[in-house]
Structure 1
Amino acid sequence: MAKKKIPLHLKIVIGLLAGLAVGLLFSYLGVPKEFTLNYIKPIGTIFVNSLKMIAAPLVLASLIIGIANLGDVSKLSRMGGKTIGIYILTTVISITIGLAVVNLIEPGKFISTQTRMDLLEMYAGKVAAKADQAKELRESGPLQPLVNMVPTNIVQAASDNGSMLKIVFFAVLMGIALLKIPKEKGEGVVKFFDGINEIILKIIDFIMRIAPFGVFALITTMIVELAGDDPSSALEILGALLAYSLTVLLGLGIMIMLVYPMFLKIFTSFNYFDFFRGIRPAQLLAFSTSSSSATLPVTMECVEKKLKVSEEVSSFVLPLGATINMDGTSLYQGVAAVFIAQALGLDLTITQQIMIVLTATLASIGSAGVPGAGMVMLVIVLESVNIPAAGLALIIAPDRILDMCRTVVNVTGDATVSMAVASTEGQDFSEIDTEELVQE
């Protein structure tokens, strides 16, 4: 009798829980942090770097193939308009939900004066660094995002995952060009990139074999670094910020359990629990890596192979989503801005909160899909409503954990929109064999 294979998502969960246990054990036993940094962290770094390594070529190849297979530029225009429109809609909804829950719970009023002063003093240096980065973004000009979208050197852009929008821009141009030239002249190019795409997908299979070990290393390192030299002190700070953290998690939970199922119901009538089972490897990796860009190859594989979204849709919608659709990040920015105002005793008017919605929407588009990018954009959101950027110190302590959670929402939102757009393009999801969703 053949031995039953353990599903990949279960292996990842085991790695995650083992990393949590080992990280806490190391912290309380006083195991030198250097041991974790020298012998465990590199495993996680190798895993994340492996995913980032294939992100750019995967986006380039799959997007070119997807557009070339559309057969019509008007179809691309129609699909692009729907994609961006839905992304902006979900972003506005997420920020609105964040503002609603933070105004209802008012977590800022749970922070004592002493805790506030301690946090402001403890993280003053980190706040200054984030403020400097935000200043550079502000001084770049209102049209700088459009300038940054066009690469001066596509090879150089392809070597930087932070330049994913440049790769998308080039791939869209190349795909459109392939549609405009005689088919026989572009056929060899299409076959080349199709072959590259298949090779990358096979490499993803190889990388995912070490995913449980990579997740274990990432979580162990995160716990050890978070605990620092005094685990009890870290827990006290997190306890003081518990109301804020739970407010963010409540907002993120509403997005995952209510908003996205609503979109699926409206566009596809697809069972959300089956959808969840189909993308859970991507969600678990998003939680572990805190990076939408690093998770992108796995997200594309789950959406195409499990949820059966056509390649022409997924190859366009998902890379674009990993670049501009940050629902979890924008929700967090709304909650964080109001929380800081509450903690500092500042009252925000309705007009100021509307300004937060507008600024956070624009900031989420410019927020790179890498860990901690949302914190820099938050400085801009704070200053748009005259909240001192120094208040950022109040939320730095739990940010690493919350960043993991909001990245899960970002990735889930991308997958949801891909199914919605595919449905509007005439794809029928009623024939999906849901039993395949539990097989890895």
Structure 2
Amino acid sequence: MAATQSYKLGLTAKILIGMGAGILFGLLLRNLFPGSEFIQNYITDGFLHVIGTIFISSLKMLVVPLVFISLVCGTCSLSDPAKLGRLGGKTIAFYLFTTAIALSLAILTAVLIHPGNASMVTENMQYSAGDAPSLAEVLIGIVPTNPMKAMSEGNMLQIIIFAVIFGFAISHVGSKGKRVAALFEDLNEVIMRVVTLIMLLAPYGVFALMGKLALTLGLETFGSVVKYFFVVLTVLFVHAFLVYPLLLKLFSGLSPLTFIRKMRDVQLFAFSTASSNATLPVTIETAEHRLGVDNKIAAFTLPLGATINMDGTAIMQGVATVFIAQVFGIELTITDYIAVVVTATLASIGTAGVPGVGLIMLAMVLNQVGLPVEGIALIIGVDRLLDMVRTAVNVTGDTVATVIIAKSEGEFNEATFMDPKAGKATLEEAAADLTGNKG
């Protein structure tokens, strides 16, 4: 685990250094050479613009393949019709329900607190949004008439619907479907490696984006980004330590305090790795041996949750969407907010449990409601820290759902749940094995 923490924290440090260096670089040039055409033409609109735009483009490049491939893989995992019928339906419904709650809470909080400031936008960042489609048009447009056209145009709602249908069909055509599913699993590994490679460029992209912002925007910009950061952080904590405990108590009658105490190690591990998938072995061990969930429930709901349940990411997307709209002075309608909730809830199914994917999904949500993807530049500098926190929220949500579903299915040992010493040795062994595998 130490090696994993070192790598993840190292990447965080690099991104923070890139952000700080970019801000200092931009402010230094801005104050030393005010009004310089050379700086404007060759640094702001030249070097920094090119590097920053390439990084943003690389994020946008991954949206369609990442959503389609990972969503097909997630749907294929529901190969057993019995699980798909009751356990699968119950699990998916609960995950989507909590994601919708997270998005609604995030949007409401951002609208009330108003972290964005339209005065942050200069002439170089002006953006004029087209007319937003009506709710009826959004609903009609969900089903693609041409899936290939939907992919080429980046229509994510249509891609998501097609991927779900395609993945469901794969899981129901026997041995041929298994071969196709295996191919998609391999493709998923490849696309995840591409995501990793792109994230290695993040410090340089952040440096360029923050440098350009410092050259073009006032100091109040960074104050607003700090406000955005704390709004997201507040909603994450409310969701993790208020919404989840209330749902646990309401649907299972179990003690939220006991649950939170037993989840601390998993939450810390998730925070250090910033990856739901990397945390999965520890999450499963905790659910089974510390919380009393039967293996056949935990082995199904937790891997599925690591694939489709991204409440923390949804919270970031909700706040960021409102924030970027406020920054660019774009008025979002009720229909737009509904579209954000629906799009981001469905997109959570296609959000892989690895660091940095949330920004790629955010680009899709912004496109869906006609907001400029370039607005990601405003928040990317602080996103890495938020990524670590929201991963902890994600695994907490996965485990809450698992406990509730296990209790409802009669596959739950309440004595184990109430025993404060239950499973401690098992969890330590799992962490040690994982460290050995990573090391």
- Common fold by TM > 0.5: yes
1:81 and 2:89 equivalent? Answer: yes
Which string of whole-angstrom CA distances, capped at 9 and with x for unpartnered residues, describes residues 409-434 of structure 1?
11110000000001101245541212
Q: Is the 8 A contact 2:91 2:301 kept in 1?
A: yes
CA positional deviation for 1:101: 0.7
Task: Count how many residue pairs are aligned between Structure 1 and Structure 2.
Answer: 327
1:143 and 2:162 equivalent? Answer: yes
1:304 and 2:254 equivalent? Answer: no
Distance 1:330 1:265, change over 3 A: same
- The alignment partner of 1:99 has SS state of helix
What amino acid is the match of 1:434? P
TM-score by length of 2: 0.62
CA positional deviation for 1:91: 0.9
Match of 1:198 in 2: none
TM-score by length of 1: 0.62
CA positional deviation for 1:336: 0.7
Distance 1:395 1:278, change over 3 A: same
Cα RMSD for the two superposed structures? 4.4
Identify the match of residue 276 of structure 1 among 260, 265, 274.
260
CA positional deviation for 1:283: 1.5
CA positional deviation for 1:306: 1.0
Which string of whole-angstrom CA distances, capped at 9 and with x for unpartnered residues, describes residues 296-336 of structure 1?
12211111111111001101111111111111111211111
Match of 2:58 in 1: none
- Is there any run of 5+ residues in structure 2 with no aligned partner, and where? 22-72, 128-150, 171-176, 192-199, 429-439
Provide the rounded CA distance (Å) in 2 between the counterparts of 1:226 and 1:283.
29
- Is there any run of 5+ residues in structure 1 with no aligned partner, and where? 1-7, 31-58, 68-72, 121-132, 165-220
Match of 1:388 in 2: 372
Identify the match of residue 399 of structure 1 among 363, 383, 397.
383
Distance 1:147 1:239, change over 3 A: same
CA positional deviation for 1:107: 0.2
What amino acid is the match of 1:396? I
What amino acid is the match of 2:91? T
What amino acid is the match of 2:163? Q
1:103 and 2:111 equivalent? Answer: yes
CA positional deviation for 1:153: 4.2
Which string of whole-angstrom CA distances, capped at 9 and with x for unpartnered residues, describes residues 319-359 of structure 1?
11111111111121111111000011111112211111111
Provide the rounded CA distance (Å) in 1 between the counterparts of 2:332 and 2:395.
31
- The alignment partner of 2:415 has SS state of coil
Which string of whole-angstrom CA distances, capped at 9 and with x for unpartnered residues, describes residues 32-90 of structure 1?
xxxxxxxxxxxxxxxxxxxxxxxxxxx99xx99x98xxxxx757632222111111111
Distance 1:227 1:436, change over 3 A: farther
Provide the rounded CA distance (Å) in 1 between the counterparts of 2:325 and 2:352.
25
Q: Is the 8 A contact 2:15 2:203 kept in 1?
A: yes
Distance 1:328 1:14, change over 3 A: closer
Provide the rounded CA distance (Å) in 1 between the counterparts of 2:12 and 2:83.
50
Which string of whole-angstrom CA distances, capped at 9 and with x for unpartnered residues, describes residues 138-181 of structure 1?
485741343256364455455566599xxxxxxxxxxxxxxxxx
Distance 1:91 1:146, change over 3 A: same
Q: Is the 8 A contact 1:99 1:338 kept in 2?
A: yes
Which string of whole-angstrom CA distances, capped at 9 and with x for unpartnered residues, describes residues 157-214 of structure 1?
55566599xxxxxxxxxxxxxxxxxxxxxxxxxxxxxxxxxxxxxxxxxxxxxxxxxx
Match of 2:362 in 1: 378
Q: Is the 8 A contact 1:356 1:381 kept in 2?
A: yes
Identify the match of residue 249 of structure 1 among 202, 216, 233.
233
Distance 1:234 1:419, change over 3 A: farther
Distance 1:80 1:238, change over 3 A: same
Provide the rounded CA distance (Å) in 2 between the counterparts of 1:359 and 1:94.
13
What amino acid is the match of 2:97? L
What percentage of residue pairs aligned between the two structures are identical?
39
Identify the match of residue 94 of structure 1 among 99, 102, 107.
102
Distance 1:257 1:317, change over 3 A: same
Q: Is the 8 A contact 2:160 2:347 kept in 1?
A: no
Distance 1:262 1:110, change over 3 A: farther
Once the two structures are superposed, the pairs formed by residues 224-263 of structure 1 within 5 Å of their partners are 239-263=223-247
Q: Is the 8 A contact 1:119 1:393 kept in 2?
A: no
Deviates more, 1:312-321 or 1:362-371: 362-371
Match of 2:299 in 1: 315
Match of 2:194 in 1: none
Identify the match of residue 434 of structure 1 among 420, 424, 430.
420
